[in-house]
Structure 1
Amino acid sequence: MKLLIITAIADFDKDIKKMLKQASVKTFTYKEVKGFNDTSEESIDSNWFGSEINENESILYYAFVKKENVDLLFELVNDFNKKQESLSTIYVAVLNIEKSN
């Protein structure tokens, strides 16, 4: 069993749900969250938002999945990210579960 964690901007919500379904992840939890980006070290001229602190509408998913479903989901997310023209991508992390009930 693995713990799958996904974060992305809220605009990708439908895409993520579609990928989860394709990877046979039938049960998951998600929550709308505020994404935060500290660009204080960037030049204001190169910063699209024109400020040092940026927040965006984001979404956080987590699910306990079978290990055989993880690789397909990573492939789907990587393919999706390669096609993006924006700087935003979907981030996925997987953690081993040593024990669960």
Structure 2
Amino acid sequence: MKLVVITAIAEFEKEVKKMLKEAKVRSYSYRDVKGFRDASEECVEDNWFGSEINETDSVVFYAFILQHHLDSLIETINIFNKNQEFASKVHLAVLSVEKYN
């Protein structure tokens, strides 16, 4: 059993739900969150947002899933990210679960 945490911009919410369904993840939780990025250390030319502090409407998903479903989910997210024209991607973190009830 693994705990996955997925973050994405709010515009990708429907796509993430579709990816979870395709990976046969039937139960998950999600919340709207504010993404934050501090670009104060970047050169002005490299910062296309035009400000040092950037907040973005985002979503975070949590799910406990089996390893074979995780492999499918990772593959689906990788394909989605490769085909994106946006700078923003879907991010996935995997945590091992030692015990669960």
Question: TM-score if structure 1 supplies the norm length?
Answer: 0.97
Question: Any idea what SS the aligned residue of 2:64 has?
Answer: strand
1:93 maps to 93
The runs of at least 4 aligned residues of structure 1 exceeding 3 Å deviation read none
Counterparts of 1:13 and 1:33, CA distance in 2 = 12
Aligned equivalent of 2:79: 79
Distance 1:30 1:58 in 2: 10
**Match of residue 27 from structure 2:** 27
Residue 31 of structure 1 and its aligned partner are, at CA, apart by 0.2
What is the aligned-residue RMSD (CA, Å)? 0.7
1:46 deviates by: 2.7
> How much does 1:48 deviate?
1.5
Gaps of 5+ in 2: none
CA distance in 2, matches of 1:86, 1:8: 12
Q: In 2, distance between residues paired with 1:46 and 1:82?
A: 22
Offset, 1:66: 1.1
Distance 1:17 1:89 in 2: 15
What is the number of equivalent residue pairs in this alignment? 101
What CA distance in whole angstroms lies between the structure 2 residues aligned with 1:29 and 1:7?
Answer: 12
The TM-score normalised by the length of structure 2 is: 0.97
Q: Secondary structure at the match of 2:88?
A: coil
Percent identity of the aligned residues?
54
